[in-house]
Amino acid sequence: MKIPKYLIPYIVLGSLQYRFTKDGLAFASPFLFMSLRYFIGGMALLPLARRIVLNRDVIILTLLTTASSGLWAMGLNYVAPSESAVLSYTMPLFSIPIAYLLLREKPRSFEVAGAIIGFLGVAVYGLSLSGRLSLLGGILTVLNAVFWAAFTVYYRKMRTMDPAVVNTSQMLLGSLVFLALTPLGFRFDPSPSFLGDLLFSALLGGSVLFYLWNVMLRLERVGKVTVMAFSVPITSSLLDEVTGEVQLNHESYAGMLTMLTGILLSRKDDIFSRKRKVEVKSTT
C-alpha cells in the first residue's frame, strides 16, 4: 500500500499548518494572505509542472479550493488552530456522498462506518469546546469542510492529470481570485515572523499539502483517504495541548479516541488483507 508514505508527511504538515496560518492572519487580512499563499505556492510548483492548464475542470476545481481556503482563513480569525482542524475534518462525512453522486464511487461499508464514527468523535470533541467556541468561526469552518469535500472529490475526478500541473494551475488562478477579493477587509501589518508564517503556509502547508492530497486521491478511493485524514485533527489537538493553546478535557480525549476508532475501522479491509497474505506466506 503506497498511501502511508504520503499520508505520514501529510499528517505532520497538516497538523502544523493551522498554527502557522493562524499566526500569519494576525498580520494580514484573510484574502490578502491567501492571495500571497496561492501565488507563492503555485510559483514553487511551476518548475515541476512546466506548464499551466486552464480548462473547465481546472476552473471548477479552483472555485472549490478558493472557497474552501477563504472560509477556512476567515474562520481561523475566530477559533484556535486545533478547533479549526477538528471542525474542518467533518469533511469525510460530506465527501463520501459527493463522491457517490459525482463519480458513482460506491462507498464500502467499513469506510462509511469509519466516517460516521469519526464524525461522532468530532461531535464529542466539539461539544467539549462548546462553552468557548465561536459560533461564527464554527460555521465558517464547517462550510470550508463542505467545499474541501467537493474539491477532494474533484481531485479524484481529475486523477488522470499530472498533480503538479493541476495544482500549479489551480493555485496561480486561485491567487488571482483572492487578489480580486483583497479590498474586502484589507489589513496588512507585516513583521519578521510574518514571512516565516507565510512561507510555511504557502510551501509546506500549501503546494506540498495540495500535491500530497492530490496524489493520495489518485491512488485510493475518496472514502478511504478522507477517513484516514482524521489523524490530522488528533495530532493538531495534541500539539495545541502541549503549547498551551487549548486545555483538553476528558470529553476532548474521548472525541479523539472515537476519531481514531473510525480510522481503524475504515482500514479493516486492509488489515484483514495483509493478515491473509501473511498467513498464506507462512503456509508456503
Helix (H, G, I), strand (E, B) or coil at 28: strand
Q: How confident is the model over 143-200, as pLDDT tens digits?
A: 999 999 999 999 999 999 999 999 999 999 999 999 999 999 999 998 889 999 999 9
- CB–CB of 212/154 below 8 Å? no
Q: How far is CA 227 from the centre of its chain?
A: 11
Q: Give which of 207, 276, 266 is closest to 13, Cα–Cα.
A: 207
Q: How much is the pLDDT for 279?
A: 46
Ranges of residues in the chain with a pLDDT under 50 are: 271-280
Domain boundaries, the chain: 3-283
Which DSSP state fits 188? B
Instruction: Report the SS3 class of residue 183.
Output: coil
pLDDT for res 272: 44
Question: pLDDT at position 277, please?
Answer: 47
Helix, coil or strand: residue 284: coil
Which triple of cell numbers denotes residue 179? 487578489
Predicted model pTM: 0.84
Distance CA 91, CA 178 (A): 23
> What mean pLDDT value characterizes the chain?
86
pLDDT at 269: 56
Q: Residue 253: CB partners within 8 Å, gap ≥ 6?
A: none
Q: How many CA atoms lie within 13 A of 142 on its CB side?
A: 13
